[in-house]
Structure 1
Amino acid sequence: MSNTNPLNAGVSAVRSRPTGSESATGVAPLAKIAVAMALLGISVPVMAQESGSGMEVFETFTAVGQGESRANNSLNLEALDIAMPGATPEKMVDKIPGVNVATSDPFGFYEFANDIRVRAFSIDNLGVTLDGVPVGNSNPRYGSPIGRLVDPANLTTIKVSQGAGDVTTPAYQALGGSLQYFTKDPSREQGAMVSASYGSFDHISLFAKYEIGEFAPGLTGYVSGSHFEFTPKGLEGLGKNMGRRYEAKFKYDAPSEKVDVTYAVTYNDRDDFDTMSMSYSDYTGLEAGNYLGTGTGYIEYTPWTHPGLGTWNYGDFTDRGRNFGPIAYLDQTAGPGEGTNAIYYDKWRNGRMDTLHRFNFDFDLDTGKDLSVVTYYQDKSNYGLWGRGQSYAQTQVRAAYMNDPSRTDIWGQMWYDADGNAISESGDIVDEYGSDHAIVAPGTPVYADGVDFVPGVPGRTARDEDFGGHRYGLSATYTWETENNKLIFGGWYEFDYHGTERPNYNLDGGNILGDFRYDQFNFTNYTRYIDQSVTQLWIQDTYSAMDGKLDIIAGVKALQLDRDANGFLSIGEWLKNEETFRSTKYEDMFLPQFGLLYSLNDSTELFFNYSENMATPTSGTITTAGDTFNPDILKPEYSDNFDIGLRGNFNGGSYTLQAYSISYTDRILASAVPIDDPNAGAAGNSVYQNVGGVDSWGIEASGDIMTGIDGLSFSGSIALQETTFQEDLLDSVVFIGEGDAAPTAAEGYRVAPTSNPLAYEIYEDISDNDLGNTPFLTANFDAIYRKGNFRYTFGGKYYDDVYVNTLNTQPLDSYTVFDGSISYSGKTDTPLEGWKASLNVYNVFDQYFFTAAGYTDEDGSVRADRGRQFTLKMETTF
């Protein structure tokens, strides 16, 4: 018995959507389709194998989910093998039809910049599993992106259900499909493999794996370790992103063949520097040669040549933003506080340490009766650094003492004269806790003539946030299969504890270059401790009719989530020194799924699937700032997903054609806390509300073919997608005086009267606008040519123009990027046997392009591509 998924037939990858703006590229939708069609190829089956449904199935570059009533595709070993060395598992799924991945670096390493979308949904709304273990959610703060939990070199298959995972997928935030990652089983033969890669951006990847072999009857195992590093944008010679991962997997197959048990463990340790983006308005200024009114475009901006631009805008744009990043300290003589010291790369850093243990038990109970049990435990330990100005820290310290003058947790103290008067740094009497009331270091004497002011907040400060926790869970699925019927039922339970503490400290000497002074605490943004328990139950039945030609699949799942939070959930609570306890509960006992699978002949099948999905609000919603939290108002999100398609095999290839419709309702929007609120500026302090829905439809086609030229194969795909908002978004309410004229709205907004003649609602006029970073059209193709011991690959992707704001006034141009590789495998019975060398090139033609970094209401943000990348890889097995 095996935990991995068998591969099916062949196909490649793509994505979609119209922006409604032809001004971005000057290309009409029909012309875009023609351009993309020119990119399409069809790929090559490598070997035939048996399918459980009786259909002939090919193992190809990618694979169609034969025997599934849903759109379903997989990446096989060869597709993973030719991926860019160092690419994360998240980056690899870009080859699947209906999937699009935008990253800030060629590897997809910086998690906060990864935008992974499957049809209408981001990865936060997908069910993601590793060998059947749910990741929980993929949020970089509260969850575990899959790249932390598995080394790409240990993967054997990535399976994507674009429309919906089946009812047995353990997930509480899955509105769309599922991503399932499967690792290789240990070999019965002893051996080892080592690989090393070196390339652009100081990229180094090292991987080593030892196959223990069958070291006891039925017991096999392997251990592996890897190291990865590269220089992120703007930090050449200063810092590197690094990842280290250690894995082990052991499997026991009982002699009776009635049970197998698998244990696997992953330890992950990674550090990265925040990658900066630029606002869309800054980007258009650079493109026009007039950045922030300077009259120049892509140059390096410094405070000496362009003073007064603001502390966030200094940086290197000379290469069209490809090296723009969190700049180093610019002028150590400028003083310890603000200005040019505002951004320093070493205080924009993140670290993640994870350990995941998992057991898989597969029992063959009797003929047609099987039981699968998965249990797991994960420990998470993370940190995040970020700099803060002196004045911000002083404001919080003063406000904390004003709320509770007796508190003793703050290092700095308010300064008074001998008569108890609040005084300034120069000894003048001022308003107590006002902006001039001085904060002094402990032990500073009461003010008198000749007493020096010793600052309690001497300059720049920074926060060192610690967060993490643990989670554990168990899922079990029982399958009972008879001649014409297959019944599946089971359930999943998970408990997840997540704690977050974000204290702010002085830096040594008040200098941005200084180390953290952990003995000089200023304030805390929050301390959040969240307990969460999830229960999911499911049942599904498949009935075969018409002599096995028609499968009718019906299932239902029930989902319940309980979440509690306590602590200082916002800085407002810390200022008052009053902790909060909150509790929420979300449930739906009837989430149905229905599917049909009809075999037209031995090589062609039709499929249809409908599913209703619920996503519970994220963990962050329970920490909503201030009095805006109301558990009875915020509702879960829902989606209705329809899939219909045709797929099959032919002599030398395979294909799929599928269409879908998605209705997404009760969308939850996170709004920033107002700038004058004490919670402003601290990540995680947001207000959440249900704001309407999104409609999406699309068509996806893909295929693989072996050409008449020996050793040459193609794969390709094309996807069209339209994703639009269903209704306008309430922005604000404006009150006017008696006799005043009604307010007017800016471009992209509209004014609506209310029942109160003196009140007007301002709406974002977004109904029928396109969702951000969702292209109407995408197309992929890959060609593989094998000649002797050489393999040549070449591929490309077309990505349509998109908007980076919900008002649809900020378009980004379309682009096409190409990749290629050459590899040589040593001949058998020669000294080079077991050796392999490959050269991979990303962005072969060094195409300049920008991707969406964030799509906000009015002014979104963008990131430049990194440019052409070369990577040389050497590997050997022995």
Structure 2
Amino acid sequence: MSLRARFFLCATSLLALQVSTAAAQESISQSAASSQPRAVQKPTNTVDDGPSMMGSTSPTDAAKTETVQVRASRHTSPGGGLMVHEDAAKSRSTVTQEFIAKQAPGLNPMQLIASLPGVNTTSVDPLGLNGGNLTMRGLNASQIGFTLEGFPINDIGNYAVYPQEIVDSENLRTINVEQGSADLDSPHISASGGAVNMYLLDPKDHFGGHLDGTYGSYNARRIFGRVDTGRIGNTHLKGYISFSAAHEDSWRGPGAQKKLHGETKWVNEWGQGNRISLAIVGNQLNNTLFPSMSLANWKKLGTTYTYSGTWDPKNPSANYYKLRQNPFTNIYASAPSTFTLTDHLTLTETPYFWYGNGNGGGAYSESLSSQQYGSQNLSASIGPYNSSNTKSLLVYNPSNTQTYRPGAVTKFALHTGANRLMVGYWFEYSKQIQTSPYSLINMETGAPLDEYGNGPNMVLSNGVTAQYRDTLTQTRIHTLFIDDSLSLLNNRLTLEAGLKYAMITRRGQNNLPDTSTGPYVSGSWYEPLPAASIRYKLNNQFQLFVSGTTNFRIPMNTSLYDAGTYTKGVGYSTQANLNQKPEISISEEAGVRYQGSLFNGTLTYFHYNFTNRLYSQTVILPNGSTYSQSINGGGSHANGVDFEIGTRPILYHLRPYVSAEYIDARTDSNVAAGGSGDYVASKGKFAPQTAKTQVAFNLDYDDGHLFSGFNLKYVGKQYSTFNNDLSIPSYVTMNVHAGYRFKSFGFMKNPVLQLNLQNITNKHYLGFVNGSASNGLATTGVYGGKIAAGSTTYLVAAPFFVGGTASVDF
């Protein structure tokens, strides 16, 4: 980021803050007059006291402008639940429970936002139980901040998002997508792009519950149940507990995806705006991984390229599917609460705790007579096997990660007429333990004796347990933020500016010997991040907005460590890069928004500029397992346009929705080509992992009983290399759903039968570039050197799926 640009943003923010603080004019509130359908609904605020501030990530902030319909008798929201009344001075799109309830139950959040502008998502299995991938305006998920109930979801080390672990779709109230930038109070150190914020439904006021069951293709079956306590006694306390269990056979090759998931939320409200809530999410997964593939394998083998389903004890294979498991356990807890301290001052507190433990499995044939311990060559033993009776042995070698992550976001908001001031502080301390031990395989069945690799482990002759990696990372985050908003001209004009100052320290310990950095490493980053925005209401329907923000992402924790195999005279196969700089972005947006009685629409122009753009590159280890590391792609910039429009019911209860994006994203630097010592001529070429054009169309029909819908998504060609010599072609997918709401009878309320069909043309396609490379084909470098062909891998998207669901309330 240029000094001139940073100075300009800082000066703009400070000027706006001074103007806002000095203002004494009182704003005149306007009633938000909009027709409401006859429905079970949750109105949260009936007064327009100014647009959402740039610090509005907590659940109570998000609820201010939402009217959420849940299992309504009539549905009239624009776009079939893909739009809400919006007042943010930046691009923001929202998926509501009305849309979510019509999709196949249990879909992960990435699948549910696929139709929104700028969003490109891919799942490798129909129900999203094996995860998913996302880019937004050409930026991948590790550059997008994800929150649930106001607390962070991204991995603290590599910033990856595992959407299958987060939440059951039945409990989701809304998903807000901020395409350009995260809010100032958003708790992230990796959101150099936008943000995705998920919010849970509140418990009901009366005792009741919900039950649904789904069965579909690939022996997919899932059951979900929720019980609401209603208000307990004469108190305002209410809560719910839910549980789901899902199973889906792998559609490519052997194995299955299995998931157990539980959630509970409790709320107590009193007085004027006082609220305490507690949400706890527990998740346990045991999946079979799907292999990524090269273009050559895709062209030759297509979807038949899978892990092996056959185990031969006499000829054991490292590609046996039971050695490619992905077990993981998560527990999330958050208590977002708001307290009205005075008529004008509120306190919002969001403490949270994040725990995760799991791995991605792999196997490798290891020599027991010759093992490297740094520069030393030692013998090894594992269980009954040692160098005297076994020279080489196939062993299980998972990549384990265990995370403990407490934190809290605290903020005060002062409303004094025309002026609103917010100040806050985010603190987090995390410990992440990452190991990769070698352990025994049951030679009769081919399964590891312990899927977490806990033993028996390979022990070297010096008594040390052998590890492919063995690190402890401690991250401390201190972030201060301030935001000031001034409303003028009867709330038609709103000026806002803010500043976030992030202070992050990482301390690492690498227990491998003879590393290039020594056993202890550290890194510190200090970043001022100014932001400013303007919103002007031409009338009750039209809004104009413009915003400018700065964002950043610090390097992954893997940049601190050596890891992998050791070669004398060379060192470890993966080496630390302590000098890797943080990724800095400046984002500008300007848009017009129309919100009328018939339709809503938004048109947004955006520009972003990156310094030290960190791209994700997938590294394939000798044992077949993979991990991601960052590579510095230098500078990059993009210009683009987002558009969305959705109507309320028109002819025959139809509600169409259309979104589109055009983006021109360019690399501003020549990128280093591996260990060649040369660079590919990537300057000015189109950015990888970015589709130039996307279009989504959703058509919803709902007469209160019969409902159906059609969804189409077009995604343009995506390059997989900086040299633009390899790409995956454009594709179109289509989904269909239909269902019927029956009249309540007896204790069964709102019974519903529905059918969901995904990818109805059964298109087989590569949906995601798994890791960008400098070049895919052999080429000549900038300095005349010969650069060999690089390695790129891709993920195959999910095929045709049909699932039927029966649900009922009680």
State which of 98, 101, 108 in structure 2 corresponds to 1:88.
108
8 Å CA contact retained: 1:245, 1:269: yes
Does the alignment pair 1:724 with 2:662? no
Deviation at 1:630, TM superposition (A): 6.9
Map 1:471-870; keep pairs closer than 5 Å: 471-509=405-443, 512=446, 515=449, 518-519=455-456, 521=458, 523-569=466-512, 573=515, 580-588=519-527, 590-625=528-563, 633-669=579-615, 690-706=632-648, 708-731=650-673, 762-787=678-703, 789-828=705-744, 833-854=749-770, 855-857=772-774, 858=776, 859-870=791-802
2:308 paired residue number: 327
Partner of 2:181: helix, strand, or coil? Answer: coil
Of the candidates 376, 380, 386, which is equivalent to residue 362 of structure 2?
Answer: 386
Code of the aligned partner of 2:211: V
Residue 631 of structure 1 deviates from its aligned partner by 6.7
User: 219-228 vs 58-67, which deviates more?
Assistant: 58-67
- 2:334 is the counterpart of 1:399: no
Q: How does 1:282-297 map to 2 (within 5 A)?
A: 282-284=297-299, 286=300
Deviation at 1:619, TM superposition (A): 1.8
1:122 Cα deviation after fit = 1.2
Rg (Cα) greater in structure? 1
2:143 is aligned, of 109, 122, 125, to: 125
Change in Cα spacing, 1:504 to 1:654, as seen in structure 2 (3 Å) is same
Counterparts of 1:514 and 1:830 in 2: how far apart (Å)? 51
User: Which position in structure 2 is the counterpart of 1:430?
Assistant: none
| Aligned alpha-carbon RMSD (Å) | 3.2
Deviations 1:850-870 (A, max 9, x none): 323423331422344432210
CA displacement at 1:732 relative to structure 2: 6.3
Q: Does the CA contact (< 8 Å) of 1:220 and 1:251 recur in 2?
A: yes
CA contact (8 A) 2:297 2:305 kept: no
- 1:9-88 equivalent positions in 2, closer than 5 A: 50=46, 52=48, 59-60=77-78, 61-63=81-83, 66-88=86-108
Match of 2:4 in 1: none
Which whole-Å CA distance do the structure 2 matches of 1:184 and 1:687 have between them?
Answer: 36
Shift of residue 708, structure 1, vs aligned partner: 3.9
3-state secondary structure, aligned to 1:460: strand
- The offset of 1:108, in angstroms, is 2.7
Give percent identity, aligned residues only: 19
Distance of 2:328 and 2:721 partners within structure 1: 31
Aligned residues: 715
- State the 1:785 CA deviation: 1.3
Decide which of 143, 149, 155 is 1:137's aligned counterpart: 155
SS of residue in 2 equivalent to 1:532? strand
User: 192, 201, 219: which is aligned to 2:218?
Assistant: 201
Say if 1:641 and 1:797 are closer, same or farther in 2 by CA, change over 3 A.
same
Change (3 A) 1:549 1:862: same
Residue 361 of structure 1, CA deviation: 1.8
Deviation at 1:831, TM superposition (A): 8.7
Amino acid at match of 1:454: N
Counterpart contact for 2:555–2:630, Cα < 8 Å: no
CA shift in 2, pair 1:68/1:103, >3 Å: same
- CA–CA separation in structure 2 for the residues paired with 1:8 and 1:532: 47
**Deviations 1:317-374, CA, capped at 9 Å, x for gaps:** 4xx41x5421223655xx346xxx2310000011111111221221111222111001
TM-score, length-scaled by structure 1: 0.76
Give the direction of change, closer, same or farther, for the CA distance of 1:487–1:253 in structure 2 (3 Å limit).
same
Structure 2 gaps, min length 5: 1-31, 36-40, 52-64, 68-75, 460-465, 564-570, 777-790
CA contact (8 A) 1:540 1:553 kept: yes
Q: Using the TM superposition, give the Cα deviation of residue 767 of structure 1 relative to its aligned residue in structure 2, in angstroms.
A: 1.5
- Assess if the C-alpha contact under 8 Å between 1:9 and 1:59 holds in 2: no
Amino acid at match of 2:208: G
Return the offset for 1:786.
2.1
For residues 516-537 of structure 1, the C-alpha deviation after alignment (integer angstroms, 9 at most, x for no partner) is 6933515311211111111111
Secondary structure, in 3 states, of the residue corresponding to 1:601? coil
Which of 132, 149, 152 pairs up with 2:166? 149
Q: 1:160 aligns with which of 177, 181, 193?
A: 177
Q: Is the 8 A contact 2:559 2:576 kept in 1?
A: no
Instruction: String of CA shifts for 1:30-72, please: whole Å, max 9, x gaps.
Output: xxxxxxxxxxxxxxxx999956268999843222562211101
Change in Cα spacing, 1:775 to 1:258, as seen in structure 2 (3 Å) is closer
Query: After the TM superposition, which residues 288-437 of structure 1 pair with which residues of structure 2 at under 5 Å, given as runs?
Result: 317=301, 320-321=302-303, 324-329=305-310, 331=312, 335-336=314-315, 341-390=317-366, 393-394=367-368, 397-400=370-373, 403=376, 410-411=380-381
Distance 2:457 2:544 in 1: 67
Q: Report if aligned partners of 2:405, 2:428 keep a CA contact under 8 Å in 1.
A: yes
Q: What SS does the corresponding residue of 2:560 show, helix, strand or coil? A: helix
Which amino acid is the alignment partner of residue 274 of structure 1? Answer: L
Q: Whole-Å Cα distance in 2 between the matches of residues 480 and 69 of structure 1? A: 20
Of structures 1 and 2, the one scoring higher in RCO (CA 8 A, sep 6+) is 1
1:208 to partner: Cα distance: 0.2
Letter in 2 for 1:697: N
Note the alpha carbon deviations across 1:800-858, whole angstroms, 9 max, x for none. Answer: 12222322122322221111111111124589752100001111232333323423331
Q: Deviations over 1:354-403 (max 9, x none)?
A: 1112212211112221110010112222133211024xx447x4333972
Q: State how far apart, in whole Å, the 2-side matches of 1:474 and 1:667 are.
A: 29
Structure 1 unaligned regions, length at least 5: 1-6, 11-45, 287-316, 414-439, 445-452, 735-760
Distance in 2, matches of 1:868 and 1:623, equals 42
Q: Is the 8 A contact 2:77 2:648 kept in 1?
A: no
| Partner secondary structure for residue 651 of structure 2 | coil
Structure-2 change in CA distance of 1:607 and 1:840 (3 Å): same
2-structure distance, mates of 1:789, 1:684? 48
The separation in 1 between residues aligned to 2:622 and 2:514, in whole angstroms, is 10
1:669 deviates by 4.8
- Report whether the alignment pairs 1:260 with 2:198: no
Is the 2:545–2:590 Cα contact (8 Å) retained in structure 1? yes
Q: Distance in 2 between matches of 1:671 and 1:865?
A: 19
Q: Which of 235, 239, 243 is the aligned partner of 1:225?
A: 243
CA contact (8 A) 1:624 1:686 kept: no
Residue pair 1:584, 1:631 contacting (<8 A) in 2 also: no
Q: How far did 1:772 drift?
A: 2.2
